[in-house]
Amino acid sequence: MNLNFLNPGILFGLFAAAIPLLIHFLNRSKSKNIPFSTLVFLKELQQQKIRRIKIKQLLLLIIRTLIIIFLVLAFARPSIRGPLSGGMGSNANTSAVLILDNSYSMDCLQENRTLLSIAKSTAQRITDQMRQGDEVYLFTSTDSSQDVSRQIYHDFDLLKQDIQKKSIDFHPANLSASIKTAHDILQKSANINKEIYLLSDLQQSAFGRDSSKIISDNIKAIAFPLVKKPVNNLLIKEINIVSTIIEKGKLVELEGVFVNTGDVPSGNKLAQLFINEEKTAQTTINLEPKTSTTESFKFLLNKTGFISGYILLEDDDLNDDNKRYFSLFVPDQIKIAISGVDAFDTQIIELALNPGTIQKSNFLIKEVSLPKMSLIEAEQYDVIVLSNSADILPETVEQIKEFVESGGGFFLVLGDKIDVNVYNRLLSRLGLPKILNVIGGYSVENPVFSLSREDLTHPIFHGMFESETANYAKPGFRFAFKMEEQQGVDKIMLYSTGDPFLLEKKSKNGTMLVMTTGLRPELSDITRRTIFAPLMTRIVSYAGYGKYSRPQNLNIGQFLNYKPGPDLISSDLEMKRPDLQYDRLEPDVRPNGAWINYPGTDIPGIYSLVAKNNVNMQWAVNVYSIESDLTQIEPTVLKDRYNITLADPNSDMQKLVTQNRYGFELWKYFVFFAFLLLIIEMILYRADKSVETEQA
């Protein structure tokens, strides 16, 4: 602790403390000793009383001196300064930074007011304590950039107006970065007083894990706690699409993850599912504090194209996390490019996918010769199917790889016509396991192995069988390839030998599936079994719909990327925002083509890429669920790691700012002690006069 004086010039008045001493010496009379024999014994009797009188006179001298000293010190306004202090007096100018938390958690209600409204009122009261010559910076928790051109406020009326204009920003709070930026700016200031005022709900998630103090001891920093009562908050953390094969006329299942981040039980809250603004399903959620649950919603898909939806919760103390969006795309048809060694290998798959019924097929199939496979574009097709193809070119391999990485599906059916060495190069380039050897043989008349086990939890089998067990006539096989074991490759169906019949490998955005046998009758009888047509349909649908799956957890601030087709590049491209405003887009030309790269995801909702009056792509953007975690940082962590003191919620603003700037003032105590000494002086003086009278 350091003792400082807010009016140090008054200390010159301490010289007045010498006045009682001067008066004492000037008033001393020089007596002349005259011997008088008859009073000798009387003098000896009074000696003891005289000594007491002198002691009292000395005490009076000391007390009078202290009275003057204490009064001078009181007018000099002494203050005790701790780690928050650093000023040199009341005349020193101040540089201050107001950090206003404007993340969406500050939309939380406290006594019918949002935390942001309370924070802005507090910031304006702090501004009222600033004086001419002071300078103030205004930061927000969602803008932590090290911008040297930050505005410095000397006009505090303008500052108060700008404080009032601040609104909720859906980007997550980064208080550590804001505090660090404020510290760096204040360190460059020439003003003696340096202050940081943090107005926030002090979410733990808004602070980093810095190991050393960010704020130096010469900067005074104080945080104002705003949350004073328990919060009731239930949020939708995630929406996950359970159905992986989405078709018109079929049920679609999705799951919502709900979390109670509040301090009290949520009570029964209604959760409603809306599809294209129509309510289609609902349930109730009841959670204890700091618990979560997952609820399933199902709805009938009655159209194709882009489908947008959201889950909506009833109101609570924080409504910004009560609505979460998602987007689907249902194509009219899955576009398939197919190639095989002969007509049978392709026609049998086409027949399984398009049986010739009156109902419109979900698949649009085009046969493409193997050499022309290297020319296909990702926008042209959803799935590439190769069946028992005898040869393949390196450029075709690269095209398939790019096709899969852009989200397309690849279905490879092996057979007896393939060149193992060529296909091993293909498979290894795509990240698929290599062929080791052959199981069975061509000369075997009867099937020697069959299917034995399926992973019925795989999306391919979702809704395919009526019961939990797969009851169907098992096909027999004479010929198949044995594949090497490889990490990241899933075995979906197995032969009775334990070797895989159907494999899956994910590659970035796309899906690759490999059937390790051929379809020709001399290799197996699978094409004559009831399982064949539905299995082909599910495999191709699963591979094709992967291209249209939308990431459901895009957050505020993330870029939206899209590669439009050649026919759209020359069109007027616009992004339709959730607030129904339109942003003009300019494609970014890269070596691999033109791309849309949109950064303006600043509010939650549905973003649509519009060209030629049609929606060509759609995204669902949501708030960061971490911002709904209302757990507050511990005051000891705030002090030890950031050197920030937590203010008393009931403290007087003017007194708090004064103490923060100048320390704890002691003038009242000095006045009290001066008054006390004055009373003692009066008592001693009267006693001293009585003794003098008695002596006379």
Average pLDDT, the chain: 84
- Topology of domain 554-622, per CATH? Immunoglobulin-like (2.60.40)
CA atoms within 13 A on the CB side of 585: 32
pLDDT score at 88:
41
Q: How far apart are CA 222 and CA 210, in angstroms?
A: 18
pLDDT exceeds cutoff 90 at 416: no
The fold of the 94-229+631-662 domain, in CATH, is: Rossmann fold (3.40.50)
pLDDT recorded at residue 593: 76
Where is 563: in which H helix or E strand? Answer: none
- Reduced to 3 DSSP states, what percent helix, strand and coil does the chain have, rounded to the nearest 5? 30, 30, 40
Residue 597 identity: N
pLDDT at 65 over 60: yes
CA distance 378 to 546: 13
Four-residue CA torsion sign, 392, 393, 394, 399: negative
Sign of CA pseudo-dihedral 445, 449, 450, 451: negative
Class of domain 334-548: alpha beta
Q: How many CB atoms are closer than 10 A to CB 681?
A: 18
Sheet containing 269-275, strands listed edge to edge, beginning at the edge strand earlier in sequence: 278-285, 269-275, 305-313, 323-330
Per-residue model confidence as pLDDT tens digits over 162-195? 999 999 999 999 999 999 999 999 999 988 889 9
> Which tens digit of pLDDT belongs to each residue from 606-626?
999 999 889 989 999 999 999
DSSP-derived secondary structure letter, 46 = H
Look up tokens 């706690």; give the residue: 225
Residues 148-157 have a mean pLDDT of 84
Tokens of 628: 């709904």
Q: What's the mean pLDDT in 563-569?
A: 80
Pick from 237-241, 343-347, 574-578: least confident? 343-347
Name the β-bridge partners of 80.
Answer: 3, 664
Rounded percentage of the chain residues whose pLDDT exceeds 70: 85
Task: Provide, rounded to the nearest whole percent, the portion of the chain with pLDDT above 90.
Answer: 47
> Is residue 62 within 8 Å of 17, Cβ to Cβ?
no
Give the pLDDT of residue 36.
Answer: 52
Is 201 in contact with 233 (CB distance < 8 Å)? no
Residue 268 has pLDDT above 90, yes or no: yes
Q: What is the pLDDT of residues 433-444, one digit of tens each?
A: 999 999 887 665
Write down the pLDDT at residue 49.
64
Cα–Cα dist 94/193, whole Å: 5
Instruction: Give yes or no for residue 148 having a pLDDT over 60.
Output: no
State residue 17's pLDDT score: 65
Could you tell me the pLDDT band of residue 135, with boundaries at 50, 70 and 90? Answer: very high
Instruction: Reduce the DSSP state of residue 264 to 3 states and report it.
Output: coil
User: Would you state the pLDDT for residue 656?
Assistant: 74
Q: Which of 250-259, 281-290, 552-561, 565-574 has the lowest mean pLDDT?
A: 565-574
What's residue 396's pLDDT? Answer: 87
Paired tokens of 70: 């204490």
C-beta contacts of 499-504 below 8 A and 24+ residues apart: 499/439, 501/451, 502/539, 503/432, 503/433, 504/458
Query: What residues contact 132, with CB distance under 8 A and at least 6 apart?
Result: none
Q: Which CATH superfamily is domain 234-330 in?
A: Immunoglobulins (2.60.40.10)
Q: How confident is the model at residue 373 (pLDDT cuts 50, 70, 90)?
A: confident
pLDDT at res. 320: 96
Domain ranges in the chain are: 2-82+671-695, 94-229+631-662, 234-330, 334-548, 554-622
Which DSSP category does 434 fall into?
A: P
Is 94-229+631-662's fold the same as 554-622's? no
Residue 83 has pLDDT above 50, yes or no: no
CA distance 476 to 527: 10
Distances (CA, A) of 266 to 108, 238, 255, 259, 270: 15, 18, 20, 10, 11
**pLDDT (mean) for 634-644:** 90
Write down the pLDDT at residue 655: 72
Q: What is the pLDDT of residue 84?
A: 40
pLDDT of 691 strictly over 60: no
Q: Starting from the edge strand earliest in sequence, which strands make up the sheet with 94-100, in order?
A: 135-140, 94-100, 193-200, 220-225, 645-646
Of the candidates 179, 243, 242, 251, the one whose C-alpha atom is nearest the C-alpha of residue 215 is: 179
Task: Give the integer Cα–Cα distance in Å for 481 and 439.
Answer: 6
Q: How many Cα neighbours within 13 Å face the side chain of 348?
A: 20
Do the beta carbons of residue 222 and residue 269 sit within 8 Å? no
- In tens, the pLDDT along 113-131 reads 999 999 999 999 999 989 8
CA distances from 361 to 247, 328, 382 (A): 11, 20, 15
Distance CA 370, CA 364 (A): 18
How many CB atoms neighbour CB 658 within 10 A? 17
What gap in Å lies between CA 262 and CA 241, rounded to an integer? 27
Residue located via tokens 């009833």: 314
From 79, 71, 77, select the one nearest 674 (Cα to Cα). Answer: 71
Could you tell me the strand order of the sheet in which 554-555 lies?
554-555, 614-622, 605-611, 573-576, 582-585
Rounded average pLDDT over 43-63: 69
pLDDT of residue 58: 77
Identity of the highest mean pLDDT range in 173-187, 270-284, 645-659? 270-284
